[in-house]
Structure formats: structure tokens, C-alpha cells
Amino acid sequence: MMTNPRRLLLLAAAVLLLSAPFLSAADTPKAVGTWDVVANTPNGDLSSVMTVKVVDGKLTVEFELGGLARTVTDEKLDKNVLTMKVEYEGALYDVEAKIDGDKVEGTWQGNGVSGTLTGKRRP
């Protein structure tokens, strides 16, 4: 028969194992939400909407750019830096965005051009 301390240790180990997939997402709440983002491009400012969610324990990003949904892949959040690849007009663009409270600032690059982006979280 197991003693109470052994049961407690076994229970704690089980909880840690079951929650392990969610531990890496500890910073995810910082990014979750809907963001109004403006990308500075060689052709002028381009408004977009970025929606960050957690679906089935996995970070997902939806990006609406120029009024159209864009394909987003390779979403990652490391502390407060969100990175992803966004498809636009047949090319993939690397996006890196630093989240600071309800503000976001970052860069994008691809297809031989690059620029900056800024945005705010919607209330």
C-alpha cells in the first residue's frame, strides 16, 4: 500500500505530465486577441487584422490583409516575440512582431522587399 507522500508525489507527477503541452504556451495569453495592424510598404500603408488564438492547445494566427484572409504558417511565440509566415500575392513573407501589452511592433520581409508594422489590440 502506498503512503500518503508517495500518493501525493505520484499525483503531482501525473499533473505535470498531463499539463506539459500547455506549459510551453505560458506566454500565449500575452498575444491572444484581435489586433489592428498597419504594415508600412513601398506602396504605402496596408491595414490588416491579426487574430491570435489557442486552438486545441496550439497557437494559431489568422491574418486578413487587404480585406482577404491570408494563409499563415509556422506560428511561434517566444516570450513576447511572435513569428510567422504569411502568404501574400503568391509569395511568403516572414513576420516578426514584438508584443508589449496592447501594442505590437515588428518587421516583415519577403519577395525582395521589407518594412515595419505597428498595431494595437482591440478592446
Confidence of residue 102 (pLDDT cuts 50, 70, 90): very high
Q: What is the DSSP letter of 32?
A: -
Per the prediction, the chain carries an average pLDDT of 84
3-state helix, strand, coil in the chain (%, to 5): 20, 60, 20
Burial string for 60-76 (b: 16+ CB within 10 Å, else e) reads: ebebebeeeebebeebe
Residue ranges per structural domain of the chain: 26-121
State residue 66's pLDDT score: 79
Share above pLDDT 90 across residues of the chain, in percent, rounded to a whole number: 72
Residue range 3-25, pLDDT digits in tens:
554 554 444 444 434 433 443 45
Q: Answer yes or no: CATH 2.30.40.10 is held by domain 26-121.
A: no
Whole-model pTM: value is 0.76
Is pLDDT above 50 for 95? yes
Q: Which whole number is the average pLDDT over 43-67?
A: 93
What is the Cα–Cα distance from 11 to 4, expressed in whole angstroms? 10
